[in-house]
Amino acid sequence: MKKILWFRRDLRIQDSMLLSIDGEVLPLFIFDTNILNGLEKNDRRVSFIFEQVLKLKSDLKAMGLDLALFYGTPHDVFTYLKTLGFHDVYASVDYDACAKERDAKIAEQLSFHALNDCYLFEPNEVLKKDGSPYLVFTPYYRACQALYTQFYALKYKKGNQSLVNFEYNELWSIKSETKTPLHVKVESLGFEPLHVNILEPQKALEIFTCKLDSYDEKRDFLNVNATSHLSVHLRFGTVSIREVVRFLTAQKAQGHNTEPFFRQLIFREFYAYLLYHFPKLAWENYKYSPPISNDTEVYERFISAQTGYPLIDAAITELLTSGLMHNRARMVVGSFFTKHLMLPWQKGEAFFAKHLLDYDASANILSWQWCAGTGIDPQPYFRIFNPYAQSVKFDKEAHYIKHHLPLLRDIPATYLHKEAYLMTHDIAGYPKPIIGHESARKRFLSAFS
């Protein structure tokens, strides 16, 4: 029986669950118009994914397979494939609400087989004794540690597969059961070709070897290259989570401190787990209803890096110019957005969703709920990051700030951490703070109480 292998968040041939399935197979990737139609034409993620899909296609051809490319809605693509006699589709799991709804509709057309290839644990595998999901990370983490064995990091073996006869040399536009050939280039999707400069996963792992021992100590410092650079690869599956864990196991055997990074991987699992069990978290507060403002002028100043807070504006500039943002900066920005500006976290989440190269629904949504103090396992509502204290602690010499805001490069670093200076400065082209830190803190706490 012919089987469809639907590549989505697993754009690789190494350690692939899809490629462990025996039989006559049609590997495919769908450029989903339901998603693409809502994106800007210069979206970096489309170019990155397109490059990775072409690499996947080349790698599959080298092993005697290939990759069929489609442009359209999954519903239309699978409706068409059903007319060719396909009955089974295999795909890696995805837990956000839109993805679950999409997969449910496909399951009405074909026999849908969900594979847990993005995470170590399945969502119903780590539960409390009463069968309910954990609501706090630390007990969840301990349960994962107790459950974890070498089985979770086993490498998948290549299955005995043969390739279905199909026209693999075109990009097929599918609409209402009709197909039209398109040139295999990103412009055919209506997007600008952009090269995204991201370390290859193997190179990132190699470099990360030298950072492991100091990861816990240095990862929050904005001007230190101490992070793994794996978030984009884990998001799109250009590296498998199991390969990363095998890497950590090997490094641990050599005496390196791997626990802090493993803990971060389990945080990633926890957020996906929460979104699976509590899908309304995608749009709804779990606890508290914080005071909110819908001041459009304030929002516009935020998204254009014009708040007058150097750390906040540097972080937003990093996001707008690279599609990335340091994790420490994300926390400070999220707190500032929801507490200093009192804007709804959903609006901040949507802004990040539009620009983050490594955007992952569960991680982004739950992180914003944490910052707002509204989530299941939240930062307390009364804890409000002081952007000046954060910048002096994690960017003392203002290297990060000045890199992303070159108009501030001649200002002494100590001044960029002081509100008194920023409130009265005359720096050409840079605004004064949108609101004072202490007045913002008091305003939020007063409104919340």
Distances 383 to 102, 272, 338, 378 between C-alpha atoms, Å: 38, 25, 12, 10
CA–CA separation, 64 and 162 (whole Å): 8
CA 323 to chain centre: 11
Rounded CA separation 367/320 (Å): 19
The secondary element (H helix, E strand) that includes residue 172 is strand 171-175
Model pLDDT, residue 150:
87
Q: Where are the domains of the chain?
A: 1-117, 119-155+201-277, 296-448
The residues with which 182 forms a beta bridge, in sequence order, are 171
**CATH no., domain 1-117:** 3.40.50.620
What is the reported pLDDT for 383? 86
Give the separation between CA 266 and CA 397, rounded to whole angstroms.
33
Element (H, E) at 161: strand 161-163
Query: Architecture of 119-155+201-277 per CATH?
Result: Alpha Horseshoe (1.25)
Residue 180, beta-bridge partner list: 173
- The per-residue pLDDT for 1 is 82
Residue 428 parent element (H or E) = none
Read off φ and ψ for residue 303, nearest 5 degrees.
-75, -10
Q: State the CATH class of domain 296-448.
A: mainly alpha
Residue 43 CA to residue 443 CA, distance in Å, equals 37
Mean pLDDT by 10 residues, the chain (449 residues): 95 97 97 95 95 98 98 96 95 89 94 95 95 95 94 93 96 90 96 91 95 96 94 96 97 96 96 94 88 93 98 98 96 97 96 96 94 84 92 98 98 97 95 97 89
Q: What type of residue is 85?
A: G
3-class SS shares of the chain: helix, strand, coil, % to 5: 50, 10, 40
> To 10 degrees, the CA torsion angle through 220, 45, 273, 367?
40
* Encoded tokens for 109: 């057309």
Residue ranges in 343-395 assigned as alpha helix (H): 345-355, 361-372, 387-394
pLDDT number for residue 81 = 95
Question: Is residue 67 within 8 Å of residue 29, measured between CB atoms?
Answer: yes
Quote the distance between the C-alpha of residue 260 and its chain's center.
19
Q: How many CB atoms lie within 10 A of CB 276?
A: 19
Contact at 8 Å (CB) between 401 and 391?
A: yes
